[in-house]
Structure formats: C-alpha cells, structure tokens
Amino acid sequence: MAPPPQSQRSPSPSQPSGKGEVSDLKSQLRQLAGSRAPGVDDSKRELFKKVISYMTIGIDVSPLFGEMVMCSAASDIVLKKMCYLYVGNYARVNPDLALLTINFLQRDCKDEDPMIRGLALRSLCSLRVANLVEYLVGPLGSGLKDSNSYVRMVAVVGVLKLYHISASTCVDADFPATLKHLMLNDPDAQVVANCLSTLQEIWTLEASTSEEVAREREILLSKPVVYYLLNRIKEFSEWAQCLVLELAAKYVPSDNNEIFDIMNLLEDRLQHANGAVVLATTKVFLQLTLSMADVHQQVYERIKAPLLTLVSSGSPEQSYAVLSHLHLLVMRAPYVFSTDYKHFYCQYNEPSYVKKLKLEMLTAVANESNTYEIDDLLGSITVTELCEYAANVDIPIARESIRAVGKIALQQYDVNAIVDRLLQFLEMEKDYVTAEALVLVKDLLRKYPQWSQDCIAVVGNISSKNVQEPKAKAALIWMLGEYSQDMHDAPYVLESLVENWDEEHSAEVRLHLLTAVMKCFFKRPPETQKALGAALAAGLADFHQDVHDRALFYYRLLQYNVSVAEHVVNPPKQAVSVFADTQSSEIKDRIFDEFNSLSVIYQKPSYMFTDKEHRGPFEFSDELGNLSISAESVDTVVPAQSVEANDKDLLLSTAEKDDGRDPASNGSAYSAPFYDGSSGPAATSQSHGELAVSNTSVSGQTPASSLAIDDLLGLSFPGEVTATPTPPPLKLNPKAILDPGTFQQKWRQLPISSSQECSLSPQGVASLAAPNTLLRHMQGHSIHCIASGGQSPNFKYFFFAQKAEEASTFLVECIINTASAKSQIKIKADDQSSTQAFSTLFQTALSKFGLP
Amino acid sequence: MPVAASAIYFLNLRGDVLINRLYRDDVGGNMVDAFRTHIMQTKDLGTCPVRQIGGCSFFYMRISNVYIVIVVSSNANVACAFKFVVEAVALFKSYFGGAFDEDAIRNNFVLIYELLDEIMDFGYPQNLSPEILKLYITQEGVRSPFSSKPTDRPVPNATLQVTGAVGWRREGLHYKKNEVFLDIVESVNLLMSSKGSVLRCDVTGKILMKCFLSGMPDLKLGLNDKIGLEKESQLKSRPTKSGKTIELDDVTFHQCVNLTRFNSEKTVSFVPPDGEFELMKYRITEGVNLPFKVLPTIKELGRTRMEVNVKVKSVFGAKMFALGVVVKIPVPKQTAKTNFTVTSGRAKYNASIDCLVWKIRKFPGQTEPTLSAEVELISTMTEKKSWTRPPIQMEFQVPMFTASGLRVRFLKVWEKSGYNTVEWVRYITKAGSYEVRC
C-alpha cells in the first residue's frame, strides 16, 4: 500500500506532554514500516504497545495514523489486533484517514484465516464513519454466509452496527431477513443468539415506523420461534440463555398445558450457577403463571430457595442485584416468605444498601396479616431484632430500623409493646434516634390518638433545643400544636421557637410552626396571642413562598372570621386508618412486568428513567435533564437528586389523598420536601399586590426583571433600586466546586437577586457554534458551567461561581439567543449584597467573549 | 435487552482510567467524568453499586484496587451485568495467573483490549470461557492456531469449539498422570443473640474441582445428601444405608453439569472443564454443626471500668484442630488501657478497630480457652451516651470438618481409553460472618 502523503494529515490538538514522544514514535514506525529484517515484528509490537498505551492515557496519537496503517500490513495477528484497535479509536475523528484503512481491512476480510476474517470484519464495522457504509455491505453479506461460525457471529453483530450508522443501508440490503433465516437455521448457538439480539434491537427501533416490521417483531414471539429457541437452550452460552429466557417471558402460551411444558423444560435452569439465568428463569415462571393464582403461588415457593442461595453467595454487588428482586417478590407476597425471615437479618459488616433492603423485607414479612398467631410472634421477634439495629453504629441503618419499627406499629393492633419501645428510643438520647422516634410518635398519634397521654408525657420532656433535624422538629411542633391543651408549657415553647424564627432554616419547620401556633391559639388564646402575632409577622416577612402564603392566608382568615378560622385550623379530626401506600399498584405491576432489569433496582418503571420527559416532575429538573453536564457529553446527565425528588414527589402525591382534611399538618411524616400546594389555594393567586410591601428584607435587586417567576416569588421592586453599600471588590475562587444536586437545591431555594439582559459581540455569537468555547472562556473568569444545552437559536447555560474567601456561591442561568445576539441572565446568590458586583463581573466576562 | 453495555471502564482508586472500551455511541466519551464527579468524589461511593446519572446507569464494583464500571443507557439486566464483570475478572486472572489489580492491568493492557473485544461485541456478552479463549488469545500473543498452517488444519472444527456446544472443554488434552482434586469449602454464617440463642445460622458451601484428566471424561459425583441417597436406594431397590444424610436447601451447578439428569436421577454427572473450576454451590440451614461456641460476659463497672470474659469452646472432634482463629471483641472507643490474660494464644488491643483481637494459631477440638480482660476507659464529662455494643466476630478455618456434615461418597471417572485416575478430596470449614452479640 502506498504511504499516505504527509501533508494530508490534519493538524490535531495533541497534548503538549505527549508531543515529543509522538514524533519519536512516528520516526521509529517509519523506519520499521519497510523493513523485512528478522525480529522486526517484535519491535513493531513494542512500538504499537507504546502507541496504544499513550492512547489509553489520553494522549492524542492520531498523527501516527498513516504510519500505523503502513506497519500493520504484517501478517502478525497481534499487530493486526492492535492496529484495528487504534483505527477503531481514531477513525471517527479522522474520517479521511479512515478511508485509508478500508483497503486493508477489506483485504483482511478475505483472508484464509477465519480469525483474521472475523477480526477484520469486526473492525470494519466498528469504524462508525457514516460515509464509509458503502464499503460495509459487501463484506457483511459474505461474512453472513461464511463457512466459519466465528465470522458469522461477528458479521451478525456487524449488521447491528451498520444499522446504527445507517439504518436505511442496513434495511435496503435486506439484512434483517437474512438474519431471520440465519437465526432459524444456523447450527451455531452463538450465531443464533447474536441474530436474536440484533433482530430484537433493529425491529424494536423500526417498529414505530412500519407496520410490517411490527408484525415481524411479533413473529419473534410466535410459538415456532420460541419453541425452537427453548429446545436448543442448553446449547447456548449462559448469556445467550438470558436472552432466550427474556424472550420466553414475553411469550403468551395458548393453553395451560403449554405453560406446564415450558416450565418443565426450564425447571433445571433454576439450578444454574449464573444468577442472571436463574433470575431470567424466575421471570418466565412468574409471567407465565400470572393468570393461574394457585400455580403462581407454587412458583413463589419453588423459586424461593434458589434466590436465597444467590443472595448469600457471590459479591455484595451481585447479591444486591438479586436481593432487589427478592425484595420485589417479598413485597408482593410477604406470606410466602414468613418462614424465611431469618434470611433477612442483617449482618454487622454488610454494606448498607444490602441492609436497607433486608430491613424493608423484614418489615414486610412481619407486617403480613394478623390472622395467625405466628405472625404476632414474628412481629415481636422482628421488632426485637429491629431494635438491635436501632443501636447500630451505622446511623442510616439505625434510622431505617426505627422507621421500620414504626411501620410495624402502624399496622399491628398490639401497639402497646411497640409504644414502649418507641418511648425507650426517645430516652436513648442519641440525636438521630430521638429525631426518628419523634417522627414516628407523631405518625402513631395520628393513627392511635388514644395513646396521646403516654406519648405526650415523654415528648413533653424533650427540649426543642435538642432537636435539630427539620423533620423531627416539625413533628415535635406538630405535637405541640395538636396537643397544646395537654402540654402545659406548649404556648411558651412555641413562643420561644417563634422568637428564633430567623434562625430556623427549614421552611417545613416554619410552616409547621405557623400552623401549630394557630392551633394553640384556639385552644389557649390568652397565652398564645403574643406568639401568634409574632409568628404571623415573621411569616409575612418570610422570603419562602409557601411560608409567606400560609401566613397571609391565616392572617386573612383571622381577619375574615375567627370562628371560621378555628374550624379550618382545628377541625374535628378522624384518626388515619390506613396510611397511603407509597406506590400505586399500577406502578408496582409495571415494575413487576420489567422483572430482571434496572426497574427493580430503582423501584420505578423504566419509562421514568429512560424517557427524558419523565425523569423529573419539576420544571427545573427537566431543564437540567435536557441539558448536559459540562456541555461535553452527548447524553444527558441529571443529578441523581432529581431522581430522588421524583420518588419523593410520588410519595407525597399519594400521601396527600389520605390527609385531605388536614392539609396543613401533613408532610413531615414522609421524606418529602415541602413544595406541594397545601398552603391553601386561595392565597397564592391574589397576593401579588401586597407582596412587595412585606418584602423588605431582601435588598439589592435590579428592576429589569420581567419574568413571571420573580412576580411569584415577590422579589422584584419595579422602579426602586436600593442603595446598597458599595461592596469590596469581588474575587472569585478559580477552583470552585459545586455538585449538581446542591446547585439544583440552591436554585430552588434562593430567590432571584438579579435578572438582566445584555448583548453579545457578533464574534462571540459566531464562536458559540463550537460547543466548549464559551465554557472555557468563562472558566478563565472563574465562572464554571454546571450544565448547558439547547438548540439554535436559543442556548441555555447554568453557571456557578464561588467567592474566593468564603463559601458563598452565585448561581446563574444564562439564555443566549444567537439570532438577536442577546442574553438573558438570572443570578441567584447566597450573599445578596455582592450580587451587583458579581453581575457586573459576569457581564463583562460575557461581553468579552469572542473578542481577541 | 439483557445487557447492551455501552462502555466499560477500569479505573484506579484515584479515578484515572486504566483501560476503557466504548462499545456503543449512545453514551458520551466523558462518562467517566460523570462517574468521578457524581460517585467517586461524593459520599455516595459505596452506598449503592447501581446509580443513575442522567439517562445513563452506572454499575460499579471494586476489585482489589480497581473500579470496574459498566455504563448502560437502556433498562439493562443488572444481574447479568455484574455476573459479566465477575466472569471477566476471573478470565483476566486466569490469564495473568492470579492477581487482578492496577499493576496487572497496566502490564497486560494489550491483552485486556484483545479480551474485551472478544468477550463483548457491541455491548452483548459473547464467549467468556477461558478454555476456549485461550485457544486463540494466548498470553504470548502468538499467532492464532489456524494461521500457522491454515491448509492442513481442520479449521471449521476448531472454531466450532470456539462457539460450540461443549464450550468449556477442548479436545485432545493429554496428561501423564490423571488426577482430580476436590475441595469442599464451607463457610458458616452465624448470628447469635446475647442470650445465647441462635438467631440465624446457615452454611454456604462450594465444591471446587481441579481436573487434570485426558480426553473427554465423564464424571459422576456422589454425596451423602438426602435426596440423592433416597433416589439411589429407590433405583437399586434396597433400603437406605444408615448414617448421616444431609438435606441441601438449594444447589446450583457449573454449566457443565447435566441438569436434566440431576433432576431425574439426582446424580451429579458432568464433563469437566480442564483445570480449576467451581463445580457446585449449595446452601444448608438445617442441622448445622457449629464448630465454635462463644460465651461472653461483659460487665460495665461504673463509668471507667469494664470487665470482659470470653470463653470459646471448640465443639468438633478432639483429634481435629482449627487454624487461624481470630476473635474480635469490641470495646468502647474511649478505651485507655487494657490488661488481659489468655489461657491460649495471644491477645492485644487494636485501637483502630476498637477491638481486643485474640489470635490462636492452632486450636484443638474439645478445648475451651478463655480470655479475661480488664478495660479502663477515659472518663469524659460529655459522654453520657451509652455504648452500643457491636457483636463479637470470629474468623477460623477448620480442616477436615464440614459444618453441614457433607461427605463425598464417590467420584467416578469414565473415559473411553479407560485410564486410571487418582482422586483427592479435602474438606475445610471457614467462618463466614460469625457473629455473637454481647
């Protein structure tokens, strides 16, 4: 092959660190390329190894492309493999150079050695360069007909790769039909398996476009195909078996005999050493018998032992995967596992993710019906065991176990013993134990008000100063409000809490405080009046939307009619009989349908984490969800927190239904953040007029805001620029770090302190086309990007910066419209006073963008 | 889609990429950054091995000083992915000869690239059987067996093996001395309450096999498990011999075991892979013989003193002995001084794990050494919280003892050439998680 002219090589931004070495390598490679001296292969190998190792550590060795291709004309297979690897890595960035390799790859595809044929074909398909697809069809076609199964196996996956590069080329060449034929006729099991996975993927993606393909896809699930594959199942590798079993789980048998035939055939798969095969078999069994309740129960009994074995063997990660599935099954049918509860005891050294699942299972098993005496016994055994964990050094697990005791308490009739336990927890004098126990006692009282005397006596001894956690504090305050008539010093405790209003950071606690003071007021008016006044004033001045609204709502309610207010705040309550399930049965069923996949691990159906629109229920998370972290990645990266938030939201929305009568006091029982609409719908819409008046605490806003959110937050002061003291010159920390979760949380909590428009230089707009230029530019000014995205003409960026001396952060949302060369900037800041300085800094930086 | 992994990364503990392989384009090239910033650099590391970041899920595992991360963008099969990682690591180990760590990866990265190419294609697992892969990927990186003399070699036959039905054994093996080694390794898990009642107790066992046999031998293994014995006596229509029979809760087998025959005849018959492999795993919860009983008494004498007495009783045969016995007795964090006497072995206070560590190298059966210690505590004014007592933990190995009582009754080898074989059987019981609350 003729050596490529040097001049063709595109200059690539190689890292300076590797530059010298790369040119060294280049000359050495060139020396060896033509040499036929003995031992030259070995020295080539060494050189190639070096190249690959540079490539691995991230040095750009693409300038060597030509030399590498030249040297690889050798017959040495290891050299070839290394060269293929190199080519596969750089072909996409250098499509022109990739063309050079086509020639020798195509020749290798006709090599007499099947290994080389296969390897060459695999590399050819892995180039992933769109304009080279025409060269793929021929070798793929002959690869599929190759006499050697290794080549066929590679060719089948090659078809899938081709499909992902160019779907139309793949379909036009009629490859799917060839694969279908191959799948049903090839003697080699791995070829068949690869056909199956390829066809499944292609047809699933095509099905939405064509009905014909959708029908084809149905054929995969037809009786002849499924039977054909199942009958050969023992020939398949363990991975291919998973594939076939997955398919079988979707098959709908025509009658019960068929079901039993399949189950008999697959029974022995449950003994397979590979956990994935066992789980896949389990899925087939469960799915097939859904319509036969009694057999379905037997299936549970049958699969129990293999699953428990899998849990206790293998690495913690593997057992976690299995345990998650077991968890799902235990939740569906706890009674089946009632004799196995010992398996769910936690070991001291187990990782906490395993412990957490075990705790939940233990709870579920213990909670199952009270029809049998054994269950009561089991309940008390479990509670004893859980109490052991409550003293655990692993704090999250200790918390979980206290919650678990609570769950059992809420479902069992024999609460007596459990209440004692809880009160013991309160006396343990560990912050987190007290905190969890308080939350629990509150829930318990909502269900069993008759226990109030006992509980209140203990709760009354807890000083609110010792309780720091928001949830626990909220629970304590709720009890103070609800049982203020029985707690002697309730009004005074509340009063002191109101006095420290400004030090209370959690909005949830402030909300509860407002409500509790109101409740207390109606029970003991003279003692509470002062506290109520102070609380309402503080609430009205609060910058948190919900707190403000609720304060306003109470204020107006009191103004309107005190007895109506009393009726609203202190209605006669019914004990909550059943707490809402955290997940709807529909969602549970969907998860069950997706058994043996991530859905089970995440405990939510796949559409919630694979579809973009479902990933987060909040607008903000959606925004972030469609953007990308650091703007470099192709795919979306949402902070994990939004996922949790999603979960919590679900939880909250179902919980809400139950508590409709008492909207003000719920919420704290669940780990949900308080951003629901329970603060009373009446207040939100009409309160804008007065907002500005009450909002004197926030300073430093600029008037230009025209966005609705500002109005909602009540933070814009049209026409009034506050004279802020001149802040010292602002210095930013060039190495600021903020994780997206915190960013998101802060973004949600902080008010907008500045919102402006500024224009961009035309050069700046032009250089926006390259993705990372702006980010690099801003980074030069110590402003970091956390997420970015969008489509022309609108681009959206989220930036953050930190002060050099203190941990005060600025968050920026910046929308750039390339058509108008304008950008909209919204700034939120921990320290409002320096916003102005930061805003100027930011705008200066932005306006310099693109200018030399 | 069972796995369809988009990428696999090997990182060291600092988060540097040792090796990565992108199988698909549906994830960005900087996924590893996402992993570093969202998992490695946060407290979340180790809280859950499966994490979602954006549209991608990360499965990660730490093996010695390496993190192996699989990135998927679809709703993948987690069990399959983890099993894949475990198998892949076993495969690498068989190539490097033992260790799998950062250095091994750095020294063998070309080999690993080669293997990664073969064991997974476009995200779908392919053949992971070391036996077969060694046919065409050799440590020396020599030419493939087909390329040396392509014309006289029966090529289709050789590659049939690559993907064929008896994936775990190649033909034409020959050994001068035909030997089989069987290791029955059991680990006992115990959780005992402070009152001395057994809360939870089970045994997970595995039978490890090392085969050096010529040709294509057929093996049959007989154990003293209840079902197998019953079935046998049924078939031979003679009453079950007396003696201890074991009830296995659950068994899983290596893929070489003929499961159909196990289900119909309850015999374990198989064509073994060459070399070392795990033949079967089992679990037993009934009738476990605990090798050790631990009797602790811990008294808190006032606020600054504690008295610890621990008696460990070995309850296996007097002729046997346990090795490497370690008893870890937890003491409070604020321990200042410890004095102890032991009737056997050595003890010391290890402040980093807040334990008295008592080691007995050789521990004969039917003996009961004791440790008595006096612990002085630093008195602190603020420390009013009571000490939560973690459990006493034990480590040990007892050779020639099985906690389950399982015994190999016979191992038969058939090969068409009819050679003689030598069989070796060893038993050992180890501590799994052996905990006694106090």
Q: A244-276 as b/e, with b when 16 or more CB fall inside 10 Å? A: bbbbbbebebeeeeebeebbebbebbbbbbbbb
Instruction: Say if residue B414 is in the same domain as residue B281.
Output: yes
Of these ranges, A46-55, A665-674, B96-105, B337-346, the one predicted with the greatest mean pLDDT is B337-346
Instruction: Say if residue B71 is in the same domain as residue B220.
Output: no
More confident residue, A433 or A677: A433
Asked if the peptide bond before residue A793 counts as cis, ω within 30 degrees of 0, the response is yes
Which residue, among A366, A485, A318, has the nearest Cα to B78 in the 3D structure?
A: A318
B75 part of a folded domain: yes
Q: Do B147 and A317 touch (CB under 8 A)?
A: no
Range(s) of the domain holding residue B62: 7-128
Which residue, among B29, B70, B26, B65, has the nearest Cα to B51 in the 3D structure?
A: B70
> How do B422-436 and B179-192 pair as beta strands?
parallel
pLDDT digits (tens, 9 = 90+) for A641-659: 333 444 343 333 333 333 3
d(CA A159, CA A484): 73
Q: Do A312 and B117 touch (CB under 8 A)?
A: no
Q: CA-CA-CA-CA torsion for B243, B244, B248, B249, nearest 10 degrees?
A: 130
Domains of chain A plus CATH, in order, are 740-848 (3.30.310.10)
More confident residue, B240 or B99: B99
Helices (H), A668-795: 681-686, 688-694, 708-713, 740-749, 762-767, 773-780
**Radius of gyration (Cα) for chain B, nearest Å?**
26
pLDDT surpasses 60 at A455: yes
Which residue, among B279, B289, B105, has the nearest Cα to B203 in the 3D structure?
A: B289
Asked if the peptide bond before residue A351 counts as cis, ω within 30 degrees of 0, the response is no
As a whole number, mean pLDDT of residues A692-700 equals: 37
As a whole number, mean pLDDT of residues A477-495 equals: 86
Cα angle B21-B27-B29, degrees, rounded to a multiple of 5: 60
B84 vs A contacts (CB less than 8 Å): 239
Side chain identity at A638, as an amino acid letter? V
Cα angle A169-A170-A175, degrees, rounded to a multiple of 5: 140
B435 part of a folded domain: no
pLDDT surpasses 60 at A411: yes
A58 vs B contacts (CB less than 8 Å): 17
DSSP class of B36: I
Q: Do B86 and A76 touch (CB under 8 A)?
A: no
d(CA B438, CA B193): 7
A161 vs B contacts (CB less than 8 Å): 122
Q: A814 and A796 in contact (C-beta within 8 Å)?
A: yes
pLDDT surpasses 80 at A17: no
Given this model, what pLDDT does residue A792 score?
A: 66
A56 vs B contacts (CB less than 8 Å): 17-20, 109
Mutation target among A151, A182, A195, A637 for the B interface, most CBs of B within 10 A: A637
Q: A826 and A755 in contact (C-beta within 8 Å)?
A: yes
B44 part of a folded domain: yes
In terms of CA atoms, which chain A residue is nearest residue B142?
A: A78
Given this model, what pLDDT does residue A769 score?
A: 62
Q: Do B204 and A312 touch (CB under 8 A)?
A: yes
Q: Out of A75, A237, A628, name the one closest to residue B167 (CB).
A: A237
B24 vs A contacts (CB less than 8 Å): 164
Which residue, among B311, B163, B317, B389, has the nearest Cα to A187 in the 3D structure?
A: B163
Given this model, what pLDDT does residue A74 score?
A: 65
- pLDDT classification of A569: cutoffs 50, 70, 90: confident
Q: Which two tokens stand for residue B106?
A: 């750095």
pLDDT surpasses 70 at A671: no
B1 part of a folded domain: no
Given this model, what pLDDT does residue B357 score?
A: 94
- pLDDT classification of B359: cutoffs 50, 70, 90: very high
Q: Out of A52, A150, A429, name the one closest to residue B159 (CB).
A: A150
> How do B268-270 and B335-342 pair as beta strands?
unpaired
Answer whether A848 touches B (CB < 8 Å): no
Q: What percent of chain B has pLDDT over 70?
A: 86
Instruction: Say if residue B353 is in the same domain as residue B418.
Output: no
Q: Do A273 and B136 touch (CB under 8 A)?
A: no
d(CA A696, CA A541): 7
B199 vs A contacts (CB less than 8 Å): 342, 345, 385
pLDDT surpasses 80 at A187: yes
pLDDT surpasses 70 at A325: yes
Given this model, what pLDDT does residue B3 score?
A: 54
Instruction: Say if residue B136 is in the same domain as residue B74.
Output: no
Instruction: Say if residue B282 is in the same domain as residue B343.
Output: no
Describe chain A by its helix, strand, coil percentages, rounded to 5. 65, 5, 30
Q: What percent of chain A has pLDDT over 70?
A: 76
Q: Do A318 and B86 touch (CB under 8 A)?
A: yes
In terms of CA atoms, which chain A residue is nearest residue B388?
A: A391
Instruction: Say if residue B216 is in the same domain as residue B136.
Output: no
pLDDT surpasses 80 at A497: yes
Range with lowest mean pLDDT among A266-275, B48-57, B135-144, B155-164: B155-164
d(CA B136, CA B403): 43
In terms of CA atoms, which chain A residue is nearest residue B16?
A: A57
Which residue, among B308, B278, B303, has the nearest Cα to B182 in the 3D structure?
A: B278
pLDDT digits (tens, 9 = 90+) for B272-296: 988 888 899 898 888 889 999 999 9
Q: A160 and B122 in contact (C-beta within 8 Å)?
A: yes
B438 part of a folded domain: no
Q: Which two tokens stand for residue A576?
A: 């909550």
> How do B198-212 and B275-284 pair as beta strands?
antiparallel
Sign, CA dihedral A309-A315-A320-A322, equals negative
As a whole number, mean pLDDT of residues B30-54 equals: 79
CATH code of the domain covering residue B77? 3.30.450.60
DSSP characters for A639-653? -HHHHHHHHHHHHHH
More confident residue, B184 or A449: B184
B326 part of a folded domain: yes
Given this model, what pLDDT does residue A662 score?
A: 41
Q: Do A147 and B260 touch (CB under 8 A)?
A: no
Instruction: Say if residue B114 is in the same domain as residue B22.
Output: yes
Q: Out of B34, B79, B162, name the one closest to residue A633 (CB).
A: B34
Question: Å from B319 to nearest chain A CA?
Answer: 31
Q: Out of A189, A272, A324, name the one closest to residue B252 (CB).
A: A272
Q: B278 and B208 in contact (C-beta within 8 Å)?
A: yes
Answer whether A322 touches B (CB < 8 Å): yes
CATH code of the domain covering residue B328? 2.60.40.1170
> How do B392-399 and B355-364 pair as beta strands?
unpaired
- pLDDT classification of A283: cutoffs 50, 70, 90: very high
Q: Which two tokens stand for residue B210?
A: 């090392």
pLDDT digits (tens, 9 = 90+) for A33-46: 767 677 777 788 88
ipTM reported for the complex, 2 dp = 0.77
pLDDT digits (tens, 9 = 90+) for B318-354: 999 999 999 999 988 888 888 989 999 999 999 888 8
More confident residue, A107 or A718: A107
Q: Is A484 helix (H, G, I), strand (E, B) or coil?
A: coil
Sign, CA dihedral B400-B404-B407-B412, equals negative
pLDDT digits (tens, 9 = 90+) for A591-631: 888 888 888 888 888 877 776 544 433 333 333 333 333 33
Question: Å from B176 to nearest chain A CA?
Answer: 31
Instruction: Say if residue B123 is in the same domain as residue B139.
Output: no
pLDDT surpasses 50 at A149: yes
In terms of CA atoms, which chain B residue is nearest residue A242?
A: B2
As a whole number, mean pLDDT of residues A318-324 equals: 89
pLDDT surpasses 80 at A370: no
Q: Is B309 helix (H, G, I), strand (E, B) or coil?
A: strand
- pLDDT classification of B392: cutoffs 50, 70, 90: very high
Give the CA diameter of chain B. Answer: 88
Q: B421 and B177 in contact (C-beta within 8 Å)?
A: no
Given this model, what pLDDT does residue A735 score?
A: 73
Mean pLDDT of chain B: 82
Indicate the number of domains in chain B: 4
pLDDT digits (tens, 9 = 90+) for A755-807: 777 777 767 666 766 667 777 777 777 787 777 776 666 777 778 888 777 77
- pLDDT classification of B167: cutoffs 50, 70, 90: low
φ, ψ (nearest 5 deg) of residue B254? -60, 155
Sign, CA dihedral A548-A550-A555-A560, equals positive
Instruction: Say if residue B124 is in the same domain as residue B136.
Output: no
For tokens 């949402």, the residue is A638
Instruction: Say if residue B333 is in the same domain as residue B421.
Output: no
B21 part of a folded domain: yes
d(CA A811, CA A830): 9
pLDDT surpasses 90 at A281: yes
Question: Å from A585 to nearest chain B CA?
Answer: 21
Instruction: Say if residue B415 is in the same domain as residue B271.
Output: yes
B150 part of a folded domain: yes
Q: Do A191 and B163 touch (CB under 8 A)?
A: yes
- pLDDT classification of A402: cutoffs 50, 70, 90: confident
Given this model, what pLDDT does residue A155 score?
A: 92
d(CA B39, CA B55): 15
Q: Is B122 helix (H, G, I), strand (E, B) or coil?
A: coil
φ, ψ (nearest 5 deg) of residue B45? -55, 125
Mean pLDDT of chain A: 74
Given this model, what pLDDT does residue B427 score?
A: 94
